[in-house]
Structure 1
Amino acid sequence: MVGRLKDKVVVITGAAQGIGFATAKKCGQEGAKVVISDFNVEKLQEASRQLQLDGFDVHAVVCNITDEEHIAKLYEEAIKKYGYITTIVNNAGIFVNNTAETFDVITFEKIANINIKGVMLSTKHAIPYLKGQEGSSIINLASISGMIGTKNHNLYIMTKHAVVGITRSTAVELGQYGIRVNAVCPGLTDTNMAEQLIEGDGGGQSIRQAYENAYLLGRLGRPEEIANTISFLASNEASFITGALIPVDGGYTAT
């Protein structure tokens, strides 16, 4: 069976774990060649090893997405390895718990550098390679936090609203080149980041259960469920979708 991402070359940031790793696996299953990047060398190497054991064509590049030279090298390495790229998934990001009252500049700069600057740098350096490449697309990982507001997550929500803005404005800019730009907006997904959020809100099973109960389906999302949507947006089946924000949130934003 030929996968729907055959002949695609997908570059994924923050791919050593969580949604990024699940996306790399799904894209590999769908026939894509996959370039995975992450700042954590050991986790990246282990992710690459697992994907290769599964029989996928994968290339790992260590990358600090806040460093423009690193980002430029990431795409140079992808081109050197495969000759072209068709798709980038701007997945790398971090989470912090805070309120407007507890705002501090150091934390602001850290999360903005990764969650906003990293997306912009990755997009900037990918565009020249995506132009003229049939079926090319950019997929940003926003969040339902880019669509709504909640307490205790002030800075994270700010950055994800920024990713939504980047997605829409870049889609308008790049449509003339046939480059599609979309954002996937996950609800709370069962990853290390979710555990961090739950702990920041007090921790324990009761807090986790409260979050689960907030979703119409009564549970948190799974990384592979987010990866399924990313894979669809990367495929030619999504050829007339651009500038879209797609919630994958178990119905959270429907209420």
Structure 2
Amino acid sequence: MFENRTVLITGAAAGLGAAAAEAFAAKGATLILSDRSDKVMGVAERLGATGLIADAASLDDHKMQVAKAVEQTGHLDITINNAGIAHPPMRIEQTPEQVARMVVEVDLLGMMWALQTQIPQMQKQALERDGDGGCILNVASIAGLVGASTLGIYGAAKHGVVGLTKAAAIENARRGIRVNAICPGFTRTAMTGDLINMAPDAEAAEADMVRGVPMRRLGEQAEIVSAMLFAASPENSFMTGQTIALDGGVTAY
């Protein structure tokens, strides 16, 4: 499905990023994997990919990733902008300035820098390849679609990601670039595990986390990655500007 396609995945050292890397590799993609953790190098080595140490909050690092993809393969066809951070549950008035600034810099401005560096390369490709510029998939969150109590600044940043996604989709709809976002609910990843384990009673914390989910469970990584493959597929050529909720039915209320 993704043969001869260069796929850049950020935040690929673990969790959804690493799971996505495995799935795209299995479908024949050429991978460029980045993360601020050096664990990404192990993931890259295992999958025969290129690994890069990069900070999602750095505009220069985003420029470097695009340049490396083009240097190695000549093109950048699909980007999965997955890198992001969360913060421990806390009310808005309790959120320290440093925490708020870090979340915005990584989750929102980091997405801005990703789009700002990826779009020009894809616009160039569209001119060279009869309108086939590429596909961008941003990983937002259900917190970008609904109110997220005790995750206020994280939710605000993810709402911003949804806004950037829609704006980028409109701006590039006639330039051969599709831009979409997925919005996972709580999914069984290390980040979610950390939130659960911060509580005095982890079992009770997980039960509380899924209390408002009609399916009454966490999402599984494979379920989220399946949606990534669908959204990024070259055959899915008429979908752009969409935010796909993968939330066990939360937004059906």
Specify the TM-score bucket, using the shorter chain as the normaliser: over 0.9
Q: Is the 8 A contact 1:11 1:88 kept in 2?
A: yes
Q: Is the 8 A contact 1:95 1:197 kept in 2?
A: no
Listed one character per residue, the Cα deviations across residues 165-200 of structure 1 (whole Å, up to 9, x for unaligned) are 000111111112020110100010101111233245
Listed one character per residue, the Cα deviations across residues 79-137 of structure 1 (whole Å, up to 9, x for unaligned) are 11111011111100000122111132211111111001111111111112111151611
Aligned residue number for residue 14 of structure 1: 11
Provide runs of 4+ in structure 1 moved above 3 Å.
199-203
Q: Is the 8 A contact 1:12 1:90 kept in 2?
A: yes
Q: Is the 8 A contact 1:14 1:37 kept in 2?
A: yes
Any gaps of 5 or more consecutive residues in structure 1?
53-57
Task: Count residues in correspondence.
Answer: 246
2:155 is matched by which residue type in structure 1?
Answer: I
Match of 1:46 among 42, 67, 70: 42
> How far apart, CA to CA, are the structure 2 residues paired with 1:48 and 1:157?
30
Match of 2:183 among 173, 185, 209: 185
> How far apart, CA to CA, are the structure 1 residues paired with 2:40 and 2:15?
12
**Structural mapping, 1:44-193, within 5 Å:** 44-52=40-48, 58-96=49-87, 97-131=89-123, 132=126, 134=132, 136-193=134-191
1:70 and 1:219, CA in 2 relative to 1: closer, same or farther beyond 3 A?
same
1:71 is matched by which residue type in structure 2?
Answer: H
SS at match of 2:245: strand
CA RMSD of aligned residues (A): 1.5
Q: TM-score scaled by structure 1?
A: 0.92
> How far apart, CA to CA, are the structure 2 residues paired with 1:29 and 1:135?
23
